[in-house]
Structure 1
Amino acid sequence: MDGTAGMSDGSEARAALVEAARALDAAGFMPQKSGNLSLRTAEGFVVTPSGLPYARMQAGDLVECDAAGAPRPGAPHRPSSEWRLHAAILRARPDAMAVVHTHSPRATALACARQGIPPIHYMITLAGDGGRQGIPCAAHAAFGTEELAQSALAALGTSLRAVLLANHGVVALGATLAGAVALAREAENLAGQYLDLRAAGLAPVPLSPAELAEAAARLGAYGRPA
């Protein structure tokens, strides 16, 4: 998906959403048809359907919803069971154009301990707030509920772009679909590093605020023309 694309009203953006869901599924991030993705639209958002295997999903299977999460009349499927999560984040965070929710194995394992990821690596700055909060774990709530949506929002606040969901998985948001997907992948990578350190009996050393600030500044300039 083009990094300048903000909304999913075009067929190209919808095809990109399907492609992203299939890629995350192939990577083992969406076991047993779990996880879901959404993109903001002019009228609300479009979200992956409930219960449909990602390998079979086509752009026409995506479910259009209004800003409150109600599917449009004649929708081909029921929206994801987590439509409330997507609706709440997209309403509360105008900076979010895409939301990615996964059950990636190592981040989910950490979430099952109801622990977040501390700022042990500079890539955590991608999760927002300069990395100072790391990637926290939101309070537990049953899947598919408004309580879960509000718990995720409380953990995200106004500046974070990724949180773990207790005993559940990961949610990441981005200004583009590609950015949200990349952040969900990075959360899994960081969780793996953290768990490996703990399994080896090593004490992770968090980066200091000054070290995080330097990393965030350098990452912000990364890839820009000299």
Structure 2
Amino acid sequence: MVKHQRCPVDPGSPDQSLRRKLLHITKRLGDLGLNRGTSGNCSVRNASGFLITPSGMTIDEMSSESMVSMDFSGSIIGGGAPSSEWFFHRDILQHRPEVGAVIHTHSVFATTLSCLRKDLPPFHYMVSVAGGANIRCARYALFGTQALSDVALKALDGRRACLLANHGMIVLGRDLDVALAVAVEVETLCEQYLRALQAGEPYLLTDDEMSEVMERFKGYGLWAKY
């Protein structure tokens, strides 16, 4: 249960630029069609813990002041009610110190694949942007629960993206811009894979071929800066 220690948001606090960035990325997710209505949520690490998007609020209703500040004990430091998915945002940021931002979407193709409860296999070399030779689908757990966080953490082991069975996707990044780029790429890959399945059974790259790709990505543009 969330512990409430509500404090007014200081408009001059260092978090203001992060709040504005979090709002910007949330709006970009809507503009790109990766989230619609009140679906999905985002978070970003800050000095006291993390900022997360609010619960039950459409993108158009959000402002930078809507963003909720929490610490890693689950207490609210400033703002209203956080997204119901704060458990996995908290746990990912707490257990993965290299991660600075978490994005969760209900995008059409990632969610469709998650409803088939399929991993995304190495049908295309860009699967490696998630940090490995596949993108795992976590087993089903009820939204907004510690159980969902637990299965997500397992599926994200050694990865910066996973699917959530019958739910959507989670992606990670060193910052919000990288996390957004990963989300766009994962959604694109899910669409490509589903379309390939309509035509037949895609050929898969071997472990050796994927290892070569991941080695190349160590110095490749945005993905080298994860």
Where 1:144 maps in the other structure, the secondary structure is coil
Q: Is the 8 A contact 2:138 2:154 kept in 1?
A: yes
Q: Distance in 1 between matches of 2:179 and 2:120?
A: 18
Matched, 1:83 2:86: yes
Deviates more, 1:111-120 or 1:208-217: 208-217
In the TM superposition, what whole-angstrom CA distance separates every residue of 1:13-50 from its partner, at most 9, and x where no partner exists? 22111111011012221123110000111211100001
Specify the alignment match of 2:210 in structure 1.
Answer: 212
Shift in Å at residue 219 of structure 1?
A: 2.4
Q: Is the 8 A contact 2:130 2:161 kept in 1?
A: yes
Where 2:218 maps in the other structure, the secondary structure is helix
Q: Distance in 1 between matches of 2:221 and 2:153?
A: 31
Where 1:100 maps in the other structure, the secondary structure is strand
TM-score, length of structure 1 as denominator length = 0.88
Q: Is the 8 A contact 1:161 1:173 kept in 2?
A: yes
Q: Distance in 1 between matches of 2:53 and 2:209?
A: 39
In the TM superposition, what whole-angstrom CA distance separates every residue of 1:51-75 from its partner, at most 9, and x where no partner exists? 1111231111100001122211xx4
In the TM superposition, what whole-angstrom CA distance separates every residue of 1:193-214 from its partner, at most 9, and x where no partner exists? 11001112x2111111221122
Q: Is the 8 A contact 1:47 1:83 kept in 2?
A: yes
Matched, 1:162 2:165: no
1:221 aligned to 214, 219, 222, which one? Answer: 219
Shift in Å at residue 9 of structure 1?
A: 4.5
Shift in Å at residue 217 of structure 1?
A: 2.4
Where 1:221 maps in the other structure, the secondary structure is coil
Matched, 1:32 2:32: no
Matched, 1:187 2:186: yes
Using a 3 Å threshold, how does the CA distance of structure 1 residues 163 and 9 change in structure 2: closer, same or farther? farther
1:68 aligned to 73, 93, 112, which one? Answer: 73
Q: Is the 8 A contact 2:15 2:46 kept in 1?
A: no
Deviates more, 1:52-61 or 1:92-101: 52-61
TM-score, length of structure 2 as denominator length = 0.88
Q: Which runs of 4+ in 1 moved over 6 A?
A: none
Give the AA of the match of 1:117. Answer: L
Using a 3 Å threshold, how does the CA distance of structure 1 residues 188 and 223 change in structure 2: closer, same or farther? closer
How many equivalent pairs are there?
210
In the TM superposition, what whole-angstrom CA distance separates every residue of 1:130-177 from its partner, at most 9, and x where no partner exists? x22x111001000000000001011112x1110000000000011111
Shift in Å at residue 103 of structure 1?
A: 0.4
Specify the alignment match of 1:41 in structure 2.
Answer: 46
Q: Distance in 2 between matches of 1:105 and 1:223?
A: 27
- The percent of aligned pairs where both chains have the same amino acid is 43
Give the AA of the match of 1:203. Answer: E
Please, what is the CA RMSD of the aligned residues? Answer: 1.6
Give the AA of the match of 1:206. Answer: L
Using a 3 Å threshold, how does the CA distance of structure 1 residues 76 and 164 change in structure 2: closer, same or farther? same
Q: Which runs of 5+ in 2 are unaligned?
A: 1-12
